[in-house]
Amino acid sequence: MKKERDEQVENVLTEIESEHDEVRDMLAKIDQAKRITWSHVEALYVTLKGHHEAEEHVLFPKVRPVDSQAEKLVEHLIEEHDEAETGLLAMIEKHKKDEQKFDWEKYGELAKLLREHMEEEESKLFKKARKAMTEEELKAALDPFETQEEKSKKSAKKEVK
Ligand SMILES: [Fe+2]
Ligand SMILES: [Fe+2]
C-alpha cells in the first residue's frame, strides 16, 4: 500500500495531496473513537507541524509573488496553520497538566478548519503553484519539502514529549 502511494508521488503537489489523505485518515480515526487516545492527537500535531512548515518554507514563497490573490491566499493559509497548531497544542498541554477531559467541541472546530483548509489548498493553491512553477520545478521541490518536513517533525515531537 505504502509503495503504491509512493509510486504515484511525482512532485511536491502530489506529495502534499497524499499527505492530506493521511491527515484526513487521522481525523476520521479520532472522529470515530469512543474514547480519545492522546497519542493519536499528538501524532496529528506532529504530522501537521511537519507538513505546514514544509509548505511554508518550500511552496508558499514560490506562490506568493504570482499575483495579489496568491499573496492573500498564502497569508490566509498561514493564519490557518497557526490556528490549528496553537489549538491542538493547547489541548495537548492541558491534558498533560492532568486535565483528562477531551474537548470534543474544540476538536470539531479544528477538524472542520483543517478539512476546509486542505480542500482550499488542493483547488486554489495548486492552481497558483502550477502558474508559478514548471513541472520540473515542482519535481525538484519534492526533496527540499521532505527534508524540511522531517526537521520540523523532529522538533514538534520534542514539543509534545
Ligand atoms: Fe496548509
Ligand atoms: Fe497542506
Q: Which ligand is nearest to the CA of 145?
A: 2
Ion ligand 2 residues within 5 Å by Cβ: 121
In which region does residue 133 sit, left (phi positive, over 0), alpha (psi from -120 to 50) or beta (all else)? beta
Rounded CA-CA distance 93/142 in Å is: 33
Residue 97 DSSP code: T
Question: Could you tell me the residue range of the domain that residue 79 belongs to?
Answer: 2-160
How many independent structural domains does the chain possess?
A: 1
CA 77–ligand 1 middle distance (angstroms): 6
Q: Which ligand is nearest to the CA of 13?
A: 2
Percentage helix, strand, coil for the chain under 3-state DSSP, each rounded to 5: 85, 0, 15
Res 8: pLDDT? 60
pLDDT in tens, 115-144: 999 999 999 999 999 999 999 999 999 999
CA 104–ligand 1 middle distance (angstroms): 23
pLDDT in tens, 15-73: 999 999 999 999 999 999 988 999 999 999 999 999 999 999 999 999 999 999 999 99
Can you read off the three cell numbers belonging to residue 14?
Answer: 502530489
Rounded CA-CA distance 13/148 in Å is: 15
pTM of the model: 0.93
Res 2: pLDDT? 47
**Mean pLDDT score across all residues of the chain:** 94
pLDDT in tens, 74-98: 999 999 999 999 999 999 999 988 7
Burial of 45 by CB count in 10 Å (0-12 exposed, 13-18 middle, 19+ buried)?
A: buried
